[in-house]
């Protein structure tokens, strides 16, 4: 039987998974939990919602020249490699600068919070400006999780585990509106997070009556504007109701939603 301390450690691991500070083995273990348990997938999706706004609050800072010299010496390289800037929320320089300086502080704070004695589930108000989807493969395992930030018109798509595709093929994400034809959201990575911009027309079609799907397409995307390859994953879209939705996170990662109820101290 899990102890409160174990449950707290699990919650911390899910936060560290979203922040990207786990080592390779620990990250693979959490990815397996996301693929095989709904509790882990729900907890990770909630941490994505909470941490996504961090990228907007941190000013960009250029590393000092001596930083690369230290990295060069530590890795025993002949010359420091030029690092190409990478686009996307989780590859954003602002976010990784924050992680480099503050990850240990965040981890320490979380450790204190999750180590407190378990009393009652904590009610967390989820912003109605967010939607989420667990995109499942045909075998029932989670292929990707998607979090939609309506206020900033963007979507973050995270693979649960690397997904294999044939050479020259790649995953393309589609929005399936109720009673309508698929609309391309964009190409997504099979092995790392992808951030996609959402145009107004696509934003207007997001909602609980729509769904997301992933198809196998050429590297540049479908040449026809419609899926041409096999659909390998799909998932419904969930949305926080107007006025807020209270999500009670229990120690074992389960999420209980309560609509229209006030939180009692």
Find out whether 177 and 210 touch, Cβ atoms under 8 Å: yes
Measuring CA to CA, how many Å separate 91 from each of 132, 137, 167, 265?
20, 26, 25, 39
Residue 263: what pLDDT?
Answer: 36
Tell me, yes or no, whether 164 and 91 share the same domain: no
Residues 34 and 137 in one domain: no
Question: Which of the listed residues 95, 122, 149 is the one where a domain comes to its end?
Answer: 122
The CATH code of the domain that includes 144 is: 2.60.40.200
Boundary-marking domain end, from 94, 122, 150? 122
Residue 252 lies in a domain: no
Say if residue 116 is in the same domain as residue 133: no
> Are residues 149 and 189 both part of a single domain?
yes
pLDDT given at position 214: 94
Kindly state whether residues 5 and 51 are assigned to the same domain.
yes
Q: Does the residue 206 lie in any domain? A: yes
Supply the pLDDT for residue 20.
Answer: 76
- Determine the structural domain holding residue 155 and report its residue range: 129-239
Does 84 lie in the same domain as 53? yes
* Count of structural domains, the chain: 2
12 and 116 fall within a common domain: yes
Contact 45, 257 (CB under 8 A): no
Residue 249 maps to a domain: no
As a whole number of angstroms, the distance between CA 187 and CA 154 comes to 14
Within-domain flag for 246? no
pLDDT at 254: 39
Do 22 and 74 belong together in one domain?
yes
Same domain (yes/no): 118, 2 = yes
User: Does residue 255 lie in a domain region?
Assistant: no
| 262 domain residue, yes or no | no
Task: Give the DSSP letter of residue 166.
Answer: -
* Nearest by Cα to 158 from 187, 129, 185, 190: 190
- My answer on whether 180 and 165 are in the same domain is yes
The answer to whether the predicted template modeling score (pTM) of the entire model surpasses 0.75 is no
Confidence at residue 66, expressed as pLDDT on a 0 to 100 scale = 66
Assigned domain for 13 exists: yes
The percent helix, strand, coil of the chain (3-state, each to 5) is: 30, 25, 40
Domain boundary among 122, 157, 187: 122
pLDDT means per 10 residues in the chain (265 residues)?
52 81 83 84 82 66 67 58 50 50 48 46 49 89 90 90 88 92 93 91 89 93 92 86 39 38 35
Q: Does any domain span residue 256?
A: no
Q: Which helix (H) or strand (E) holds 122?
A: strand 122-126
User: Which residue blocks in the chain are alpha helix, DSSP H?
Assistant: 4-19, 24-36, 38-51, 65-75, 93-114, 200-203
Task: Clarify whether residues 1 and 115 are in a common domain.
Answer: yes
Task: Report the distance separating Cα 133 and Cα 115, nearest Å.
Answer: 30
Are 189 and 228 in a shared domain?
yes
């Amino acid at each position: 039987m899990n102890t409160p301390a174990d449950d707290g450690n699990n919650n911390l691991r899910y936060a560290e998974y979203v922040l990207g500070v786990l080592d390779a083995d620990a990250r693979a273990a959490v990815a397996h939990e996301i693929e095989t348990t709904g509790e882990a997938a729900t907890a990770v999706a909630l941490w994505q919602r909470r941490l996504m706004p961090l990228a907007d609050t941190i000013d960009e800072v250029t590393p000092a020249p001596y930083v690369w010299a230290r990295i060069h010496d530590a890795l025993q390289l002949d010359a420091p490699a030029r690092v190409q800037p990478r686009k996307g929320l989780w590859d954003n320089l602002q976010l990784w600068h924050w992680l480099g300086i503050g990850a240990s502080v965040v981890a320490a704070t979380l450790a204190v919070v999750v180590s407190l004695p378990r009393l009652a589930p904590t009610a967390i108000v989820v912003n109605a400006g967010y939607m989420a989807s667990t995109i499942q493969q045909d075998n029932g395992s989670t292929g990707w999780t998607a979090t939609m930030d309506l206020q900033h018109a963007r979507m973050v798509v995270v693979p649960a585990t690397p997904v294999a595709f044939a050479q020259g093929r790649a995953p393309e994400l589609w929005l399936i509106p109720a009673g309508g034809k698929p609309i391309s959201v964009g190409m997504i990575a099979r092995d790392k997070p992808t951030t996609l911009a959402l145009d107004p027309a696509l934003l207007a079609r997001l909602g609980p009556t729509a769904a997301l799907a992933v198809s196998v397409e050429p590297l540049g995307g479908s040449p026809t504007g419609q899926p041409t390859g096999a659909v390998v994953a799909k998932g419904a879209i969930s949305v926080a109701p107007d006025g807020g939705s209270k999500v009670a996170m229990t120690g074992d990662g389960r999420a209980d939603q309560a609509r229209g109820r006030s939180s009692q101290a």
